Amino acid sequence: MTAKLNLDHALRAVQILNGDKPFELRIEQAPPAGEKKGQVIAEWPKGEAELRKLLIHHDKACAKSIWCSFQPLNGRRKGFVTNEDVKRRDWFFIDVARTDTENPATLQELAEAKKVFDAVLAFLAAQSITPRLVGLSGNGWHAYLPLDGWPNDEAHADLAKSFLKFLADKFNSENGKIDIGICNVGRVAKLFGTVNRKGVESEGRPYRTAEIHTEDLKAPANSVFFLRFWWTRPGSNRRPPRCERGES
């Protein structure tokens, strides 16, 4: 079955993550004949109607991947988002994938990666942390944890990276891993609802649509646990950041 654009999921994800705030839509276009990678471009849709039009256009053109930014931005309205463009950190992003990421995942590979993902979610639930948005990226699993506006500074970047590494050390397996390279605040992520056309499609390895699995708009930000983690992590000798909007 051919993977299809799910506009409802895409629009819903943008609304939850960005609301009415400006965001970057990043697209890797279909590669020219004989080449493996296509050009990567940035779009800045103004409103839902323009977003719909862009998503339909790039999907029809068989874009390899479509991502979106999800942290509040200072003022950028064109080009690619960088760490310096981010006003604060409103989301803690977790990406769990199978260990072989060159081509589309098999169902077995997705299932193995989901075991790691489910273990992470169970651990977070035990700390009273609930993701606001969870779903399939096409070849892995994504979760967005709400934060209470962490400043975009070195201390909070260190906290985010340290916690991802802690999760990876605790839960990574031979067949599923937590990506610790996605901790930078200017990260863009696969947009739910769009088709992941990474790699070469083949029997048992089809392209898939990224899709929302669960959402919980009442999930609260829980910085108390992150601060406790900072204090108790091995070798910690730095004063922890204050995880409140506008403070560090």
Report residue 231's pLDDT band, with 50, 70 and 90 as the boundaries: low
Give CA–CA dist 108/176, Å, rounded: 11
In terms of phi and psi (left: phi > 0; alpha: psi -120 to 50; beta: otherwise), the region of 57 is alpha
**CA nearest 147: which of 136, 134, 160?**
160
Delimit the domains of the chain by residue range.
7-232
pLDDT tops 60 at residue 239: no
Of the listed ranges 29-33, 102-106, 237-241, the one predicted with least confidence = 237-241
Strand partners, 142: 95, 135
Report residue 223's pLDDT band, with 50, 70 and 90 as the boundaries: confident
Give CA–CA dist 73/17, Å, rounded: 12
Options 3.10.28.10, 3.30.70.1790, 1.10.760.10, 3.40.50.300; CATH for 7-232 is: 3.30.70.1790
**Global pTM?**
0.92
Burial label, 204 (beta-carbon count in 10 A; 0-12, 13-18, 19+): exposed
- pLDDT of 55 reads 98
DSSP class of residue 202 equals B
Give CA–CA dist 109/175, Å, rounded: 7
Q: Which amino acid is at 74?
A: N
**CA nearest 64: which of 35, 89, 23, 97?**
35
Give CA–CA dist 13/8, Å, rounded: 9
Question: Helix (H, G, I), strand (E, B), or coil: what is residue 241?
Answer: coil
- pLDDT of 246 reads 31
Report residue 238's pLDDT band, with 50, 70 and 90 as the boundaries: low
Average pLDDT over residues 75-99: 92
Name the pairing type of β-strands 25-28 and 65-69: antiparallel
- pLDDT of 247 reads 24
Strand order in the sheet with 65-69: 40-43, 25-28, 65-69, 188-190
In terms of phi and psi (left: phi > 0; alpha: psi -120 to 50; beta: otherwise), the region of 158 is alpha
Report residue 234's pLDDT band, with 50, 70 and 90 as the boundaries: low
Q: Please write the tens of the pLDDT for every residue from 172-204.
A: 999 899 999 989 999 999 999 999 998 889 999
Give CA–CA dist 98/115, Å, rounded: 10
Name the pairing type of β-strands 65-69 and 188-190: antiparallel
Give CA–CA dist 229/30, Å, rounded: 43
Q: Which amino acid is at 47?
A: G
Give CA–CA dist 217/130, Å, rounded: 10
Strand partners, 140: 97
